[in-house]
Homo-oligomer: A and B are copies of this chain.
Amino acid sequence: MKKLINQVDRLVDEALEGLEAAFRPYLRRLPDTHVLVRARPKAAGRVALVSGGGSGHEPAHAGYVGYGMLDAAVAGEVFTSPTPDQILAAIRAVDTGAGVLLVVKNYTGDVMNFDLAQEMAAAEGHQVASVLVNDDVAVENSLYTAGRRGIAGTVLVHKIAGAKAESGAPLEEVRRVAADTVAETRSMGLALSPCTVPARGQPTFTLDEDEIEMGIGIHGEPGVRREPLRPADALAGELLERIATDLGLQTGERVWALVNGLGATPLIELAVWARYLDRWSRARGLGLAGMWLGEYMTSLDMGGASLTLSRLDAEREALLTAPCDTPALRQGVNHE
């Protein structure tokens, strides 16, 4: 295992310290926790957003803490759910009195621990709602989930619900728009190469020189099938058709897209997918309102990428394009 780390059991702790150091204008760590909160807390009376999950998906979720997105990110160990007490600490720290929305990716451990934390917080008098993200169309159930997995589409939920919260909307409205976003968002990915979980020290699977894994998750868990590598456009086309069919996309509808690198795939290759996606959406008669291109939800050093489409209505498009200012996503820069 060849990685820039010091000790496996200190990796997450050190990485969180490094994220805080690098993004000091944005992030503060709650003492003695794996929780990063906004350096400049949001205005009182606005709903707060908390997300998190296992580490290894950076910039998710700490990279989305800041104006217009999350108020706190809770990090578990690599590919391991954060514990309820850590999630509870995050809720306590960011609740301004208007309540807290938890954005949870659908994995058994995350669901259990966020649920427990929600109950504990409610017992302390916090208003807490939650939304479960399950955007991955590849599999109906998986090694780690009942139902579909939550993957890169989660970032759109952070953005849309975060903008709604910033607008001063009450908790129920923020929860509703987050749930709407989940309902209208689908993703699917593929791997060219496996990732290596530091505590294990070996790749999570092996692929032949010309083999890819379709429908990969973000924890090195198996995908749908293995098959020979094909040209980039053919692979993107298959993912997009799966997503579009599942969403029931119709001509004339507006969508937002995310071309997401899983860790080891360089931007020049992701850009080839961005080109195809742009051409495909025009050929399909879709209105492509915009696209994010880069690494938004990774799986350590996995090679490969995922595609996400989200159907927009006027409200969600306005929220998605509203200003935000976080380490990993900044929109609406003030020029001159």
Closest 8 CB pairs between A and B?
A: A334-B334, A18-B271, A18-B275, A21-B278, A18-B274, A325-B333, A22-B293, A58-B267
Name A's B-contacting residues (CB within 8 A).
Answer: 2-7, 11-12, 14-19, 21-25, 55-56, 58-59, 63, 67, 78, 166, 192-193, 209-210, 212, 229, 231-233, 235, 259, 263-278, 290-293, 295, 298, 300-301, 303-305, 323-325, 330-336
Query: Are the C-beta atoms of A263 and B263 separated by less than 8 Å?
Result: no
Q: How many copies does the complex hold?
A: 2
Query: Are the C-beta atoms of A67 and B333 separated by less than 8 Å?
Result: yes
Docked complex Cα distance between A335 and B21 (Å): 22
Q: Chain B residues near A67 (CB, 8 Å)?
A: 333, 335-336
Query: Are the C-beta atoms of B293 and A18 separated by less than 8 Å?
Result: yes
Query: Are the C-beta atoms of A4 and B265 separated by less than 8 Å?
Result: yes
Query: Are the C-beta atoms of A4 and B305 separated by less than 8 Å?
Result: yes
Query: Are the C-beta atoms of A4 and B235 separated by less than 8 Å?
Result: yes
Chain B: minimal CB distance from A267 (Å): 4
Query: Are the C-beta atoms of A4 and B324 separated by less than 8 Å?
Result: no
Docked complex Cα distance between A275 and B333 (Å): 28
Chain B: minimal CB distance from A297 (Å): 11
Query: Are the C-beta atoms of A58 and B330 separated by less than 8 Å?
Result: no
Docked complex Cα distance between A276 and B4 (Å): 12
Given A2-B192, A192-B2, A14–B295 Cβ distance below 8 Å? no
Query: Are the C-beta atoms of B267 and A59 separated by less than 8 Å?
Result: yes
Q: Chain B residues near A276 (CB, 8 Å)?
A: 18
Query: Are the C-beta atoms of B6 and A232 separated by less than 8 Å?
Result: yes
Docked complex Cα distance between A233 and B212 (Å): 34
Docked complex Cα distance between A205 and B87 (Å): 45
Across the interface, A2 reaches (CB within 8 A) one of B166, B229, B277, namely B229
Q: Which residue of B lies closest to A335 (CB)?
A: B67
Docked complex Cα distance between A275 and B58 (Å): 15
